Structure 1
């Protein structure tokens, strides 16, 4: 809490600046010089002054808090995304409040109600599919929001992310170009994620390039990937490559292959999706698709602040993703 009696006027007297200038600095305004910003922040530290969020919300009708609801925090791709949002928001004087939905629409709606009740100025949501009740609530309250981790040029709502279907097509094209004609696609539960469904649909669209293209659904964790691939290794179609819709499932595939005595990539190839930090350090290093989670978090935060501060329209934006070619995919040509 502020030291008793310390107010924004005390900071103004300490620095010789106007209360309006002090307010712009402590509320994250951009129309001040770096020197002035530093002077104000140092004075705030000396006087032990912190802005009062309740008073600020009453005067500006904004809490300067942005909410995000994500399916899970267990996977590092979401951790990177959230860390980038918080860093970028913080640089502009905003705070992040967060909730976990566990990929459940009922939990997501309850979380949104709670976060908006706390005064969140905007809402960040993962994926494209959300309950009508949630979207109606956001429209009624005129709360700005953005869908992330996916991009859809046809969407009437702002989407910031990547084309999951196209990326799955590119991943399979990568395998086909290296001579793989019998490929198993291992993905998470279709009911839980529109991103997973998009990746599966993208993979199915190029099925005519393969002798066998099969799909296996697994729980979205290492154990699920391991159990699924361990069973698929005994499939009579004798798949030469496994395309996993996340690096987490790919790690499970590594364990399954080791348990079955299969060498990667000499006996079977494995490709992932996400480019998680450890994917370059396992043996052999994992070929995967790099999803720019940090860049997406930065962009989402920047666009939301631009809307809240300057009224810049939120619009759909596609982020580039690329294949990181390492040593887990054999060339069979």
Structure 2
């Protein structure tokens, strides 16, 4: 039944501002205000016929929900605060897209904060976002300063950590072992006969250092670890820096026969520099990266990589958070989604 058939006249606007309210939509659609609220949030428990009637009434009245009123009524908003280190890294774009695809059908929007790998900036962003009474929190990693940990614990807001794993019983997380992944790609290079393998890293966030730990573990087990083959640069990661560091490694350590770059920005820059300098890959030096971002298989030569499940992590993390926001207890505190080695011609 069209909304106009339910009520022959548009409802009166009870507020001096003239703002259309939830009650106005309910009156026009011939349903209760709670049904309007649930229908407009996209809840699947609402009968599809009623949901269409509500949406038609809202469109006719040009109703715009009031987020502040909703937050006041429910003691939290329909927003989920998401903290990520960077938006310029495709890794986190893939993660965010998966999170949003999962949360939106349940009626939640994302409020994104960029930490720039800075623990103090992360703390300040969290303080600001908690003022908006978010329904839930999704944060990257588990390495926070003490004040951030206290804010999360004291907020009472459900929280899920992504891209990392923890054995702490009361901490919910979805990710994979960065250390195991670093060890696995290093072992691959060893299996290919490489013996002087460099580790090239930038940014030096906790996950990068865990990959370095895995690299060391594999080389130490083989009796081949050489600390002088570690290039740990604190500067922000970039393709340009990757090219610079490949050149530096080969000049200072001409005996190096493989390079494990800690991420794909550096690895891509390193491969382009090798092409420019006439360095044969993999004949002169093997190259491997981390994350397997789009384009890795199109490089010259196609690049070997650790493929990380960032999309699956975004979906699983958001689903775990939805369960917590409903008051349910997820079956696992920590979900390990693993990783995959994608071995191509560069190694």
**TM-score, length-scaled by structure 2:** 0.86
Cα-Cα RMSD: 2.3
Larger Rg belongs to: 2
User: Residues 292 and 319 of structure 1 are in contact (CA less than 8 Å); yes or no, is this contact kept in structure 2?
Assistant: yes
What is residue 41 of structure 2 aligned with on the other side? 27
> 2:19 and 2:310 mapped to 1: Cα distance?
44
SS at match of 2:247: helix
Are positions 1:224 and 2:241 aligned together? yes
Are positions 1:322 and 2:333 aligned together? no
> 1:210 and 1:229 mapped to 2: Cα distance?
24
Are positions 1:291 and 2:308 aligned together? yes
SS at match of 1:203: helix
What is residue 79 of structure 1 aligned with on the other side? 93
Of 15, 23, 32, the residue aligned with 1:18 is: 32
Aligned pairs for 1:52-131 within 5 A:
52-131=66-145
- Structure 1: gaps of 5 or more residues: none
Of 45, 60, 65, the residue aligned with 1:51 is: 65
Give CA-to-partner distance per residue, 1:114-146, whole Å, 9 cap, x none.
111122222222112101111112222222222
Of 162, 184, 194, the residue aligned with 2:206 is: 194
What is residue 259 of structure 1 aligned with on the other side? 276
User: Residues 36 and 54 of structure 2 are in contact (CA less than 8 Å); yes or no, is this contact kept in structure 1?
Assistant: yes
User: Residues 160 and 300 of structure 1 are in contact (CA less than 8 Å); yes or no, is this contact kept in structure 2?
Assistant: yes
What is residue 4 of structure 2 aligned with on the other side? none
Give CA-to-partner distance per residue, 1:159-188, whole Å, 9 cap, x none.
211110011111112222222222111122
Give CA-to-partner distance per residue, 1:62-97, whole Å, 9 cap, x none.
201111121111111011111222222211111111
What is residue 9 of structure 2 aligned with on the other side? none
Are positions 1:153 and 2:167 aligned together? yes
Of 281, 285, 297, the residue aligned with 1:280 is: 297
Of 194, 217, 222, the residue aligned with 1:209 is: 222
> 2:286 and 2:338 mapped to 1: Cα distance?
25
User: Residues 217 and 228 of structure 1 are in contact (CA less than 8 Å); yes or no, is this contact kept in structure 2?
Assistant: no
Which piece of structure 1 moves more, 210-219 or 47-56?
Answer: 210-219
User: Residues 173 and 317 of structure 2 are in contact (CA less than 8 Å); yes or no, is this contact kept in structure 1?
Assistant: no
- Structure 2: gaps of 5 or more residues: 1-16
Give the 3 Å change call, closer, same or farther, for CA 250–290 of structure 1 in structure 2. same
> 1:46 and 1:210 mapped to 2: Cα distance?
74
Are positions 1:164 and 2:178 aligned together? yes
Shift of 1:38: 4.1
> 2:181 and 2:169 mapped to 1: Cα distance?
18
Shift of 1:109: 0.9
Shift of 1:37: 3.5
> 2:316 and 2:47 mapped to 1: Cα distance?
24
What is residue 12 of structure 2 aligned with on the other side? none
Give CA-to-partner distance per residue, 1:236-265, whole Å, 9 cap, x none.
462221111101110121133123310222
User: Residues 270 and 328 of structure 1 are in contact (CA less than 8 Å); yes or no, is this contact kept in structure 2?
Assistant: yes
> 2:50 and 2:250 mapped to 1: Cα distance?
64
> 2:197 and 2:185 mapped to 1: Cα distance?
11
Which piece of structure 1 moves more, 305-314 or 50-59?
Answer: 305-314
Of 166, 172, 176, the residue aligned with 2:190 is: 176
> 1:295 and 1:315 mapped to 2: Cα distance?
16
Give the 3 Å change call, closer, same or farther, for CA 180–46 of structure 1 in structure 2. farther
Give CA-to-partner distance per residue, 1:231-290, whole Å, 9 cap, x none.
111244622211111011101211331233102223221111111112122222211111
